[in-house]
Amino acid sequence: MIQKGIEIPKSKGKLGVLLPGLGAVSTTFVAGVHAVIKGLSKPIGSITEIGTIRLGKRTENRVLQIKDFVPLAKLKDLEFGGWDIFEDNAYEAALKAGVLNEDLLKQVREELEDLKPMKAVFSNDYVKLISGPNVKKGENKYDLAQQLIEDIQNFKEAKKVESMVMVWCASTEVYREPTHVHQSIETFEKGLKENSPDIAPSQIYAYAAISCNVPFANGAPNLTVDIPAMIDFANDKKVPIAGKDYKTGQTFMKTLLAPGIKARLLGLTGWFSTNILGNRDGEVLDDPESFKSKEVSKGGVLDQIFQVDKYPDLYSNVYHKIRINYYPPRGDSKEGWDNIDIFGWLGYPMQIKVNFLCRDSILAAPLVLDLARFMDLSQRVGMKGIQEWLSFYFKAPMCAPELYPENDIFIQLMKLKNTLRHLRGEELITHLGLEYYD
């Protein structure tokens, strides 16, 4: 375990944020950072920008801004790089994504136009419903990985960055279970050289990142780094990894509501979740195999929160159904409906209906910012491998193989803040509070 109260090295120089995928989420994130730097908008939703942390006892009145409590890269020190299968620069991509209005985009146009996508590593075996021209060619997957490594090194030199992180913002790949090739770094590298069909493009990016000592966070539900080969590789190279799938719209709501229902020991018979969305992500998820990745990452949340084995009378008969429907007129403004069938005292049934008209990328962008900064912090303090303390940001948080993931958003937030307190040698907050009444 990382020692308590270590000296945290300051963030020096610039932090390069490498983004596979210049689509709705990443352009909303990059445009947002520039808009905030220019004073055009506020960084709503970002813990690393506006979050606070209480230190010591409630009577001490010590509440600091998180960014003043731990040294994080400053917004003006972020440099962006990215890859996409389309040639559009970030300005053009942001216009097409249609998340931010044109007026705002025009004010950060120059900065966005500077962000031009490098050629992607891509395969229609993994993302079926889109294709584009800006794709690398290589002898085999190992060669493609070497090309990505070269991109990363060139970016470092060109932008003169001190450190880098990679945050996956590209399309959801099809659902795959780990195979033999994913079991160790040796079998994985052999698989790269032999062009194994089991190695996904996202895994080639992750391999390239870790090879260059660049932390990797996975914002999509793909398997990617959730395999022994990548976990071992990250530990050996002392590189932080985290995933997977940003916790934004419906699952965010689920992890707010489910702990509340469970806390009051109300029963549950069914939870039906459906969505309409019309962005490119929705188009990709129209493919049943990509949808399966999403279904699995969204689906695990309830099982863990409700602890079926401990509360069979309440949760052993739950029907959980998730639907995502591609509906172009809605663009990025997703609409989600949840029907939740619960029961209370003596088994009397009740219903909860949630209709969340959200904006997917508006919810995701601050998560990308926080992840980039916190992954960089992890690396500076020497935290390697799986970063469970960042579970707060994910639908299907990675954790050590012998553990179950923690999905309750309030526990996740406490875990995140206590990790920061631990790093700075501050007392952990347990909410015991008996000492106030002694």
Ligand X SMILES: NC(=O)c1ccc[n+]([C@@H]2O[C@H](COP(=O)([O-])OP(=O)(O)OC[C@H]3O[C@@H](n4cnc5c(N)ncnc54)[C@H](O)[C@@H]3O)[C@@H](O)[C@H]2O)c1
Kindly list the residues in this chain that would bind ligand X in the complex (CB under 6 A).
Answer: 20-25, 83-86, 97, 120-122, 127, 130, 132, 169-172, 201, 219-220, 245-246, 248-249, 279-281, 284, 360-361, 363-364
Pairing of strands 267-277, 335-343: antiparallel
Residue nearest ligand X, CB atom distance: 23
* Choice between 122 and 315, CB closer to ligand X: 122
Which DSSP helix (H) or strand (E) runs through 385?
strand 385-386
For the stretch 322-346, what's the b/e string if a residue is b when 16 or more beta carbons lie within 10 angstroms of its beta carbon?
Answer: bebebeeebbbbbbbebebbbeeee
Q: Pick between residue 246 and residue 389 the one whose CB is nearest to ligand X.
A: 246
Closest distance of CB 229 from ligand X, Å: 19
- Closer Cβ to ligand X, 21 or 385, answer by number: 21
Q: Which is nearer to ligand X, 23 or 267 (CB)?
A: 23
225 token code pair: 């780094």
Q: Which is nearer to ligand X, 279 or 379 (CB)?
A: 279
Which of 121/377 has CB closer to ligand X?
Answer: 121
Nearest approach, Cβ of residue 312 and ligand X (Å): 32
Residue closer to ligand X, measured from CB, 18 or 108: 18
Token code pair at residue 205: 């990016």
Residue 130 or residue 296: which is nearer to ligand X going by CB?
130
Query: Radius of gyration of the chain from Cα atoms?
Result: 22
CA distance 167 to 375: 9
Q: Which of 358, 330, 343 is nearest to 273 (CA)?
A: 358
Report in angstroms how near the CB of residue 398 gets to ligand X at its nearest.
15
Q: What is the DSSP letter of 70?
A: S
Q: How far is the CB of 328 from ligand X (least distance, A)?
A: 13
In sequence order, which ranges of 108-263 are alpha helices (DSSP H)?
A: 109-113, 141-159, 185-193, 201-211, 228-237, 249-263
**β-bridge mates for residue 273, sequence order:** 322, 338
Contacts of 107 (CB under 8 A, 6+ apart): 35, 38, 40
C-alpha 361/C-alpha 193 separation (Å) is: 36
Task: Please report how close the Cβ of residue 295 comes to ligand X at its closest, in angstroms.
Answer: 12
Rounded to a whole number of angstroms, the minimum distance from the CB of residue 375 to ligand X is: 16
Which candidate, 23, 180, 201, places its Cα nearest to that of 117?
23
> Which of residues 257 and 368 has its CB atom nearest to ligand X in the complex?
368
Q: Which helix (H) or strand (E) holds 52?
A: strand 52-55
Closest to ligand X by CB, 146 or 235? 146
Task: Quote the CA–CA distance of 283 and 12 in Å, as a whole number.
Answer: 40
Q: How far is the CB of 231 from ligand X (least distance, A)?
A: 21
φ and ψ at residue 398, rounded to 5 degrees: -75, 145
For the bound state, the minimum distance from the C-beta of residue 12 to ligand X, rounded and expressed in Å, comes to 29
Q: Minimum distance from CB of 299 to ligand X (Å)? A: 14
Determine contact, residues 306/257, Cβ cutoff 8 Å. Answer: no
What is the helix, strand, coil percentage profile of the chain, to 5?
A: 45, 20, 35
Provide, rounded to whole angstroms, the least separation between the CB of residue 93 and ligand X: 6
